[in-house]
Amino acid sequence: MKQIREMGKEKEKREMGKEKEKREMGKGNGVIRKVKQMAVVMMIMVFGVMSGYAQESGIDFTGSGIEPLWNVKIDTDGGIFFTSETDGIKIETPKPEFVPIMDAAGWSYISKTDDYSVQVEIMKGDCTSGYEDVVYPYSVRVFITRISDKSRMEYKGCGKYEVNEMLNNEWAVVRINGRDVTENDFMKVKPFMKFDVSENKVAGKSGCNNFFGEAEVQGDKIKFGYRFGATLMACPNMEFEREFMQTITGKTFDYRIDGDKLYLTENGETVMEMIKNNVN
């Protein structure tokens, strides 16, 4: 009987030990969850602060990640600005080089300082941190190479291009390829474009027919798609419509908004000038 009682006590101790272990594990998991939640909150705050700063300072792209916590800002005409508080790294480079990635929907910005080489690889596709519900349009990898010893660090996260929300308007074409465009040249309304920046879409009237397709805004650039849908009406001035569609199809332009005017430029030359329509 004594042996049975001792065995019972030992079993009870083991059960108590297991319960204590579970509680300790629960506490540990709770701490980990809180740390991750704090990291997510910090990541969201970083994106919010970076976006506000970016719109005021000409930053074209922002990206960040957690585990470790880092962020990057790209000014395509200025430089790459990378910070990792976790690793104690802060880098500011000169103007980066844009390098497309062959056979992939992605590209890199590459630059270097006396101490570091920096490559920011951007791939098109939905991206999340894994700890939040926010979906970003690009996944990001940052490669930091220390020039002195060739050691390399890699950071993974998500990112987005900072765009001018003023693009989300209807813009009437007033000049194209160096020529003025007047309403008298068209049966109904002057050609126009209407952008939906968040959906990477553009639609409008090309002179005679309605058209619609893709237009992705990347910082201070607008990248028009190669395929457009359109209605099939016939009008007297079809030559302009052909020129208009050929001008934008598959093309990438720098854009600039000055007051109520939008300029599309290529190699420093204005290709198209538009004015904001007064629509309700």
At residue 222 the predicted structure's pLDDT band, cuts being 50, 70 and 90, is very high
Using a 10 angstrom Cβ sphere, with 0-12 exposed, 13-18 middle and 19 or more buried, the burial of residue 71 is: buried
Q: Name the token pair of 120.
A: 């920011």
d(CA 189, CA 102): 41
* pLDDT over 90 at 74, yes or no: yes
- pLDDT reported for residue 163: 82
pLDDT over 70, % of the chain: 78
d(CA 3, CA 9): 10
Cα separations in angstroms, 129 against 66, 116, 220: 8, 26, 26
d(CA 153, CA 144): 5
Total residue length of the chain: 280
Q: Give the residue-averaged pLDDT of 120-125.
A: 94
- The position carrying tokens 């190669």 is 226
| 104 vs 231 pLDDT, higher one | 231
d(CA 77, CA 268): 14
The most confident of 24-28, 156-160, 186-190, by mean pLDDT? 156-160
Stretch among 27-31, 96-100, 146-150 having the lowest mean pLDDT:
27-31
At residue 133 the predicted structure's pLDDT band, cuts being 50, 70 and 90, is confident
pTM of the shown model: 0.68
- pLDDT reported for residue 237: 74
Q: Which ranges constitute the DSSP H helices of the chain?
A: 2-57, 238-248
* pLDDT over 70 at 68, yes or no: yes
User: How many secondary structure helices (H) and strands (E) does the chain include?
Assistant: 2, 18
* pLDDT over 60 at 279, yes or no: no
For residue 183, give the DSSP letter: G
The dihedral sign for the CA sequence 183, 185, 188, 190: negative
